[in-house]
Amino acid sequence: MERSEEYIKNERKKEWRVELQKKTKAKDRMAIERVEMSEQDPNERIKSQRIEVNNGLTKEQAVKEAMRCMDCVNPTCMEGCPVSINIPKFIKNIERGEFGKAASVLKETSALPAVCGRVCPQEVQCEQKCFYVEKLNQPSVAIGYLERFAADWERESGEIAVPECAESNGVKVAVIGSGPSGLSFAGDMAKLGYDVTVFEALHEIGGVLKYGIPEFRLPNAVVDVEIDNLRNMGVKFITNFIVGQTASLEDLKEEGYKAFYVGSGAGLPRFMNIPGENANGILSSNEYLTRVNLMGADAEDSDTPVLRGKNVVVVGGGNTAMDSVRTAKRLGAERAMIVYRRSEEEMPARVEEVHHAKQEGVEFLTLTNPIEYIADDNGRVKQVRVQKMELGEPDASGRRRPIPMEGSEYNIDATVVVVAVGVSPNPLIPNSVEGLEVSKWGTIEVVKDKMQSSIPEVFAGGDIVRGGATVILAMGDGRKAAANMDVYLKEKYLSQKVEQ
Amino acid sequence: MNKIVEKENFSEKVVKIVVEAPLIAKARKPGNFVIVRVGEKGERIPLTIAGADVKKGTITMIVQKMGVSSQKLCALEAGDYVTDLVGPLGKPTEIHNVGTVLCCGGGVGVAPLLPIVEGYKKAGNKVITVLAARNKDLLILEDEMRKHSDEVIIMTDDGSYGKKGLVTEGMEEVIQREKIDECITIGPAIMMKFCSLLTKKYEIPTMASLNSIMVDGTGMCGACRVTVDGKTKFTCVDGPEFDAHKIDFDEMMSRLGGYKSEEQDKMDHFQE
């Protein structure tokens, strides 16, 4: 798993790579236009929560796109990857038709390549650092599409290679939470030879990948294959187990667990505390998406109910807001509306998600903010009172601050309102572990590059540390924590102490 | 998967189920609850814990048939399995030796009250328990309550057993008779509301344990929002017990009906 500059350079000098470099001239590579991802027809895809929007690349498309990659001496793209994927190496494997090998390169450092190929914001990570963007001011190599292609090809081929794992060292470690951070951590620790058990509070493995991100963006079956891959590496999973409630950290220590990784996520939805917000029909994006994604409430044979409405308002401008509003459309809303207090430019959602939402007929009411909810006689919301906003000077986030415009208030009809204005860290772990240092926001305090908490054997990462970020940053934390926990455990339990 | 080791029909609508759950049996405290799911298409529903046997590794739940999910659970027999069971959830009851405690339970709310009554008694309190039911047949856990209470007063709506009248009438009799230091009430929301109004009049500190709608039970969904002292709280992680005098019961009752028509659709579909 070494990622030194020298290793990368040596890999680049391998015979097959040199051959490819010589085979096609740089000029010819640059002449190829960036591939376009084909998509399901918006009018068709909104009929089901479970039709994936992006179709993926064909073999021909993938090979051609891989040819665009210049196999740079200094692959700056890798600097943009939180899990340090050897990007040129996997892309060049695609170019030479070795798709399985390309997938293996991904799995050297990423536990969830098919997931990352779908939900990572590559446009602000690896692709932003691509030679084409930095030096030519042209569209980057479609690294994300290629990542998805390689991972999908391997899955569909049925020949799924299990990454090489070191011989078992018998040291038990526990992972709390089976979201992207915990899975990434578990994968790296299994490779290092540890005996890894993942504890999950819900009845399904995957955390936000299952309850949060809808299947039209990330099919559950894709997530399950990645989880099976971890199982094949020896990782054990226990569902319906809440560390701190079902058993304490101390109980687990007695069971022989030597160290812990907390990746319990940002599980507490935020509300705006405006009048009428507890009326029926107003719910968090977490509740809405969990009912549909995890519990399958969009299907008639599910026992879990979900609210449907002709007019649905979703408050917020992030990816979760886009997931919610597009879900509303799929549940039959005639008007599915985003209400966001800044302008489209400041929206934290990926450009692709906003684009897809618009294709699907979602309305965007930007520079608009809810100030009150009006309920009917039965306590069910019927209208949202909103206020128009204008942008002022930039605030602490660097984005222009929204300022209310007096006298601009008006009402929007809606019988379902989904609040997607962010989440706070889940308090269960911080509250149940004595001596764990927690910030005033409720996030676990860690030594930054080590991910180690105030309790030496407890490491933490992902949203429980960051407060709310992306899948890939959570995965990066998992990798960092694994590398540092390995050092910690080797020192404590596995080093042969030399007698002086 | 958790095996049902014992089942008893208390009445047509109320069933007692004993389930294997050794870790929960060991960890649970009075006031905690669990989430249960039956079947791969099943819903996650919160249920209270009526008791536990650490040695046998079981917990006892008393379930009232309400919607599809509770019907499905009640249809299971000893030897069957519940698909998922997770807990214990929620903050435990804060039990201290305060003197005399009045414990009031109505309907299946008597079930979660039992471990609390046991707890108060064990802590050295004088425990007076008022149990309310519509009629004699619907009264549950009387013997168990008598075992752990100094006095048990039974109230039935139709007078078929104990005294005829509402739970609050039984409570007021006690309050006028002797000094009550603390009160706890568990039952239908409307009952808890009136218990709370009564004890507020007499300025008796009172806790109510809420049975809000939940999905995950770990703070994630926010379906269980309740207004306490003007602030929004989550029943699952901030409760389930709150200062009864500060709960907005009217909002709480309205929120219990938040999925009423959708639940009815599921029920119609289920009965077809």
What string of pLDDT tens digits covers the 500 residues of chain A?
Answer: 445 788 889 999 999 999 999 999 999 999 999 999 999 999 999 999 999 999 999 999 999 999 999 999 999 999 999 999 999 999 999 999 999 999 999 999 898 999 999 999 999 999 999 999 999 999 999 999 999 999 999 999 988 888 899 999 999 999 999 999 999 999 999 999 999 999 999 999 999 999 999 999 999 999 999 999 999 999 999 999 999 999 999 999 999 999 999 999 988 899 999 999 999 999 999 999 999 999 999 998 999 999 999 999 999 999 999 999 999 999 999 999 999 999 999 999 999 999 999 999 999 999 999 999 999 999 999 999 999 999 998 888 888 899 999 999 999 999 999 999 999 888 888 888 889 999 988 899 999 889 999 999 999 999 999 988 889 999 999 999 999 999 999 998 877 544 43
Q: Which residues contact A418 (CB under 8 A, 6 or more apart)?
A: A283, A284, A285, A288, A312, A313, A314, A315, A321, A324, A325, A328
- Give the separation between CA B109 and CA A171, rounded to whole angstroms: 46
- Structure confidence by residue, pLDDT tens digits, B159-193: 999 999 999 999 999 999 999 999 999 999 999 99
DSSP structure class, residue A318:
S
Is beta strand A335-339 parallel, antiparallel or unpaired with respect to A363-365? parallel
Domains and CATH numbers, chain A: 5-157 (1.10.1060.10), 172-267+425-494 (3.50.50.60), 270-422 (3.50.50.60)
Q: Which residues, listed in sequence order, are joined to residue A39 by a DSSP beta bridge?
A: A54
Q: Are B43 and B3 in contact (CB under 8 A)?
A: no
Chain B residue whose CA is closest to A272 = B232
- Mean pLDDT of all residues in B242-246: 98
- Give the separation between CA B75 and CA A273, rounded to whole angstroms: 42
- Mean pLDDT of all residues in B91-95: 95
- Give the separation between CA A318 and CA A350, rounded to whole angstroms: 8
Q: Own/partner pairs for B225-229, CB < 8 Å, 24+ apart?
A: B225/A271, B225/A278, B225/B255, B226/A278, B226/B251, B226/B252, B226/B255, B227/A278, B227/B251, B227/B252
Q: Are A110 and A132 in contact (CB under 8 A)?
A: no
- A295 with B251: Cβ contact below 8 A: no
CB atoms within 10 A of CB A12: 19
Helix ranges restricted to H, A52-122 = 59-68, 87-95, 99-109, 113-119
B190 is in an annotated binding site: no
The domain locations on chain B are: 2-89, 100-257
Chain A residue whose CA is closest to B29 = A245
Task: Find residues 276-305 of chain A whose CB sits inside 8 Å of chain B.
Answer: 277-281, 283-284, 286-287, 290-291, 295-296, 299-305
Burial of residue B7 (number of CB atoms within 10 Å: 0-12, 13-18, 19+)? middle
B95 is in an annotated binding site: no
Q: Which residues of A touch B266 (CB under 8 A)?
A: 303, 305
Question: What per-residue confidence (pLDDT) applies to A496?
Answer: 58
CA of B131 vs chain A CAs: smallest distance (Å): 30
Per-residue CA distances from A231 to A195, A228, A449, B23 (Å): 12, 5, 28, 24
* Predicted ipTM of the assembly: 0.95
- Give the separation between CA A59 and CA A99, rounded to whole angstroms: 9
- Give the separation between CA B44 and CA B201, rounded to whole angstroms: 38
Q: Which residues of A touch B69 (CB under 8 A)?
A: 303
Q: Which residues contact A8 (CB under 8 A, 6 or more apart)?
A: A75, A78, A86
Question: What per-residue confidence (pLDDT) applies to A203?
Answer: 97
In this model, does residue B101 exceed pLDDT 90? yes
- Mean pLDDT of all residues in B69-79: 95
* Interface-testing mutation among B26, B47, B220, B249, with chain A (most A C-beta atoms within 10 A): B220
Q: Which residues contact A54 (CB under 8 A, 6 or more apart)?
A: A37, A38, A39, A118, A148
The whole-model pTM stands at 0.94
Report the topology of domain B2-89: Elongation Factor Tu (Ef-tu); domain 3 (2.40.30)
- B100-257 is classed CATH 3.40.50.80: yes
